[in-house]
Chains A and B, each alone.
Chain A
């Protein structure tokens, strides 16, 4: 397998950020009230992730090790601001629907996680493909969750009515509890057919958040010792 194909396969299937790594849960749960919102959020994150991976990979020998996290955060925050302004100008509808979750892409664990785990150690072109793979995996996951919630909660798919009239949509699925329910069932199905996810380890031992993972694990261990 060519290395760039491997990167995309890795992001979409093997280490799918939402279903396997359980990273970036805030947008995964919050904006998936419809397939269109999920797709929009996925594509925005994909764009930020690809460009940030590229820039960080180019600068990987320039950025001193001690200040790398603040440097990454500045790069990512600038890119997110660009995406936010572009979206406000050209896609006001989607911008209104996603609202606060657009600027919150900055603290999405996937982006800093990939910067730390991949882009800071690998050449620019491969980092771009890593970003595309991870971003696509995230986009696909969000669209799937969005589709399920939209179909059950409002009886439509991408805004087109597909349910027969006598089926009453179950509104709870597009409200907050629906997000937890759908994700719980998806992860349970994956567990049932023995697709190994990191979900269980995350909940068992440490906080899912990228850079802080090691710190949290230590925190919990310290607590145990007490």
Chain B
């Protein structure tokens, strides 16, 4: 039980997907202007990454390993993720318009978010079983959400400040990310 909890803590805080592994940087920098927008994106990411790590783990253990095709994992995973996102989008549109309205517009964005593929591949690399994979996926996505909401909060404040001209736009956002990464390094003390 402790080891399962440790997986969530490790993936969410200690090895934060954005700030220490640099996955999903595009949307981290691109969709972090407003807290509300980033929270919705975070919700969609949690949903998709948890689901896709479950499916990827099942596929790897019950299809690729028995058939001795593990070297095809990159191709299989990216196709499965793309298809999964499409199916989820269509399913939500039909079955629960409320959730679709909240998350729907973010779903297509997530397909090429490298965090999704990255988590599936890391799970396989670390030899996680099904439950561990799902928890690792969930933890990673929670870590992404925490990071993007924090950055959006900082950016909403920075908008009102006088930033030196060369640092306006991307550089100041990257500097904030650097400071956040330093802060997150403190979590490595939690590692067992």
Residues of A within 8 A of B (CB): 22, 25-26, 29-30, 70, 73-74, 77-78, 80-81, 84-85, 99-100, 103-104, 106-109, 112, 172, 175-181, 183-185, 187-189, 191-192, 197, 199-200, 202-204, 206-212, 215-216, 218-220, 222-223
The answer on a CB contact under 8 Å between A180 and B31 is no
- CB A104 to nearest CB in B, in angstroms, measures 5
In whole angstroms, what is the CA distance A109 to B118 when docked? 15
- CB B88 to nearest CB in A, in angstroms, measures 16
In whole angstroms, what is the CA distance A175 to B188 when docked? 13
Contacts between chains A and B (CB distance < 8 A), count = 164
- CB B27 to nearest CB in A, in angstroms, measures 6
Checking B24, B106, B174 against A180 with a beta-carbon cut-off of 8 angstroms, the contacting residue is B174
Interface string of B25-64 (1 = CB under 8 A from A): 1110111011011000000000000000000000000000
- 24 A-B contact pairs sorted by A residue (CB < 8 Å): A26-B24, A29-B25, A73-B79, A99-B125, A100-B118, A107-B114, A172-B182, A175-B185, A176-B181, A181-B174, A181-B178, A188-B171, A197-B170, A199-B170, A200-B169, A202-B170, A203-B30, A203-B173, A204-B169, A209-B26, A209-B109, A216-B31, A218-B105, A223-B34
In whole angstroms, what is the CA distance A39 to B114 when docked? 21
The answer on a CB contact under 8 Å between B166 and A212 is no
**Smallest CB-CB separation from B125: which chain A residue?**
A100
Q: Which residues of B contact A85 (CB under 8 A)?
A: 71
- CB A95 to nearest CB in B, in angstroms, measures 12
Please tell me if B19 contacts chain A, counting CB pairs below 8 Å.
Answer: yes
Q: Which residues of B contact A192 (CB under 8 A)?
A: 165-166
With A74-B75, A219-B105 in contact, is A203–B170 under 8 Å at CB? yes
Checking B27, B36, B37, B173 against A209 with a beta-carbon cut-off of 8 angstroms, the contacting residue is B27
Please tell me if B136 contacts chain A, counting CB pairs below 8 Å.
Answer: no
Residues B109-141 near A (CB distance < 8 A): 109, 111-114, 117-118, 121-122, 125
Closest 7 CB pairs of A and B: A200-B169, A207-B30, A180-B178, A184-B174, A192-B166, A30-B22, A177-B181
Please tell me if B167 contacts chain A, counting CB pairs below 8 Å.
Answer: yes
Please tell me if B149 contacts chain A, counting CB pairs below 8 Å.
Answer: no
Q: Which residues of A contact B26 (CB under 8 A)?
A: 25-26, 109, 207-209
In whole angstroms, what is the CA distance A106 to B78 when docked? 8
In whole angstroms, what is the CA distance A183 to B167 when docked? 11
The answer on a CB contact under 8 Å between A202 and B181 is no
Residues B163-190 near A (CB distance < 8 A): 165-175, 177-179, 181-182, 184-185
Checking A22, A103, A185, A218 against B117 with a beta-carbon cut-off of 8 angstroms, the contacting residue is A103
Residues B146-167 near A (CB distance < 8 A): 165-167
**Smallest CB-CB separation from A218: which chain B residue?**
B105
In whole angstroms, what is the CA distance A78 to B174 when docked? 33
In whole angstroms, what is the CA distance A191 to B182 when docked? 25
Please tell me if B72 contacts chain A, counting CB pairs below 8 Å.
Answer: yes
Please tell me if B82 contacts chain A, counting CB pairs below 8 Å.
Answer: yes
With A25-B22, A70-B82 in contact, is A78–B29 under 8 Å at CB? no
**Smallest CB-CB separation from A201: which chain B residue?**
B169
**Smallest CB-CB separation from A27: which chain B residue?**
B22
The answer on a CB contact under 8 Å between A215 and B72 is no
With A74-B79, A103-B74 in contact, is A183–B174 under 8 Å at CB? yes
Q: Which residues of B contact A109 (CB under 8 A)?
A: 26, 112
The answer on a CB contact under 8 Å between B31 and A112 is no
**Smallest CB-CB separation from B20: which chain A residue?**
A176
Interface string of B1-35 (1 = CB under 8 A from A): 00000000000000000011111111101110110
